[in-house]
A and B are shown apart, each in its own frame.
Chain A
């Protein structure tokens, strides 16, 4: 593959300044927040000199540019530093405590969004083109629009109300019944409980996943409907599809042929929606008290825990950039013209 290697290298190199820029923006923004984490922890009780001493110990009284350089050099060594509050645990450990929860939620939500979005998008577009069902297509489009305009906390709360309070069939908050957590292998409760054959853990984890992933998945599916539909219609307009139609293949073969060709671009664009998924996760987690990165990040921002917030943002950025990178590379692999 001529140029693919060069393309990959070029894109990876391009990813680095992107992450650096984000890091810098977050660093600046966080330092602009008045107050500091040491103060937040002991400010009320301890004598002022003591607070100064703790701040000095944490290196917070050094000039800003030195703190910035220190932080950057730490990043390059792979060291994200330590939290500035409570037990001063390493940021990586704290992130790893909370990331699996968000990952599990987003995976399930993504699956639900893909299923909902693909079916509505495929059937809406196909049946319109083949059978001329315009109204059905419009209906599918309306579904798409309504779902992305839903406010996540509102839908979440309505589901909590109906299934948790009135019907009492599903739990309204948390990730699992405390005490039922499976031994930690991947941190994803569903997988861990299957591996260790803890079926009560599995049931509890799945029950707690239902409402939050439906909430998030439903809202994300709206964007997916549009993506699928648009791409399918593009395919349908192609000459070769007209050929299929003229030849008279069965409806089902026709739809699946179109879908197979639209599949790659659809998946790649869906991958790019990952950033939206993370943003949506913050609101979902807050609504369902889901112990993931979203609630964790917001909490640490309010305590001005610089290192943890910076580390988390870097982490997010790396993930988003990596996924975009994979998507772009796959795209370029398919279509050599993209590699400039």
Chain B
């Protein structure tokens, strides 16, 4: 592929001395306190705490044993540019990513217009070099206008930098159409990234079909709407020898379908969102529109199966499916509200609070799964090692905060975790060697 996969605006390469940080990088097998030097945006030195000398033009940051992690990677965000900048744009979206400790993201093409041709992708990538604070990559659409009827010019989209293809927001309903895209992948490469849902089963559903939808009188989406499509498309990918990635798994049957596909050595991978790992249909009972997303929050059993899938590696990575919507769009009755929750700014803290603190998932494993997404799209996964470009997130695991209490970096506030007391606060994010985020209170203390 000729084009640079990820793009961001100009920034000054950082010269930092992070004093006495607790480094945790599962891939480098580091779990200890070190001084870390970043020079010209590269990791230039590691040493025992207190041993590195502060260089002349270096900023010294007293980490005092706080966690320094490889910056997270989110393979599934909606930044709404072009066409729906009232919800989010490249600048506010990447600012939210930086505030959540993310050093890279992949934006979905279901914008207005849909990113289904090379000129559109080219101009979007141009905008990213001006507006994006953290590196952002883009997927192209599988079918024109997400209509599921004609393939896009996938090869040309790849040439101008599409990391892969998706009709996200919608499934590719026709098996025959998806098969053609899988065949075409042999020519152009790029991961086919699939939002799975059988429209004849999900229809006008607004939440998971089950006891809560029955009690609320809301039209349900049965979980087989997703799992039968995961099973179908895994089999198609196996048949064609193609590479597919399943987005936002939401139920136990889907995890089983992916496990089955992996057992056949079919080239599949999968992601899960923080909200599906932490919330269930019970959270929809109050009909809070922030709890309305697609796929919907399912049962407690589904949630446990997703956690197990993530732990065991059936699910490869965490993705937020960050889906901003304007206040007036969400401030309506549940059935009228658009689907989606924001997630970049709360992902780590919510998962740390909800899974790591109660002992359900180890911190190292969470960090592995929050960074693994890059690898699935052929990108290098950030590592904390000498000569690597710095992708770092400094986190205070003891800091307690209420999500949204100081507002959001995102232009939208439709976060399903808003108002929850969380532990674990991102203090500093370095992406592609540039300091892209400092928590306000911390930067005051650090200075």
Tell me, yes or no, whether A binds B.
Answer: no
- The interface of chain A, by Cβ under 8 A from chain B, is none
- The interface of chain B, by Cβ under 8 A from chain A, is none
